[in-house]
Amino acid sequence: MSGEGSGRQAIRRLAPGRLVIASHNAGKVREIRELLGPYGIEPVSAAELELPEPEETGTTFVANAELKAMQAADLSGLPALADDSGLCVDALGGEPGIFSARWAGPGKNFDTAMRLVEDRLAAIDPAPARDAHFVCALALAWPDGHVEWFEGRVEGRLVWPPRGDNGFGYDAMFQPHGHELTFGEMDPAEKHGMSHRADAFRQLVENVLPVSDQ
């Protein structure tokens, strides 16, 4: 197994063909499908294959991404790509962090999760800075147990009330530095160009994906 960021050429490249997206999050699957479009990859989601969702017992984004990718590759017999991502709020000591989805509860209600973040910030006196960042770890696993991983990040600040109906998760309350719009207000193509997932995906492209014909 090997793990890697952007500094070292990956040991193994991914061949064109079927790839499991090891997620049951429809928004996340949609974004990854769009990012994979030009590379001769045929994405199929874990939900389409009726693969179970593993318990995320890792203590880092990378560990949880690897756990999900390795289970999907083992069960499907195909290479699998997993994402673990979340919002880290400076004034909350990095929370919700790896527990970002769990703050939304079993029903994955991110309106509730965003309100919880805002309530936690509002309870701090004096009012704290609203700096935050998104982190995305991508892990690509093969059925033989080999793994490559890449981690991306984007800095910004939190707004309230949430703005915009695009994106998913905490996007509507996150305004990246240097931009007037939240991720929830941005056109998906604009978000794809500069998000934490795009940062990690650029590293994935450079190191393991087949060369695009485009």
What are 118-176's pLDDT values in tens digits? 999 999 999 999 999 999 999 999 999 999 999 999 999 999 999 999 988 999 999 99
Q: Are 61 and 84 a contacting pair, CB within 8 Å?
A: yes
pLDDT higher than threshold 70 for residue 43: yes
Instruction: Identify the pLDDT of residue 211.
Output: 62
Joined tokens for residue 201: 């995906």
Question: According to the model, what pLDDT value does residue 8 have?
Answer: 47
What is the pLDDT at residue 34?
A: 82
Taking 60 as the threshold, does the pLDDT of residue 1 lie above it?
A: no
Task: For residue 146, give the amino acid letter.
Answer: H
User: Do 61 and 137 form a contact (C-beta atoms < 8 A)?
Assistant: yes
In this predicted structure, what is the pLDDT of residue 2?
43
Q: What is the pTM of this model?
A: 0.84
Q: What is the pLDDT of residue 4?
A: 42
- Catalytic residue annotation: 84
Q: Sheet with 41-45: list strands edge to edge.
A: 41-45, 17-21, 80-89, 131-141, 147-158, 174-176
Buried b (16+ CB within 10 A) or exposed e, 31-44: bbeebbeebebebb
- The domains found in the chain, sorted by start residue, are 17-207 (3.90.950.10)
Give Cβ neighbours of residue 19 (< 8 Å, ≥ 6 apart): 36, 41, 42, 43, 44, 78, 79, 80, 81
Q: What is the pLDDT of residue 122?
A: 96
Establish whether the linkage from the previous residue to 188 is cis, with ω within 30° of 0. no
Structure tokens at 102: 């769990």
Cis peptide before 143 (omega within 30 of 0): no
- 172-184 residue pLDDT tens: 999 999 999 999 9
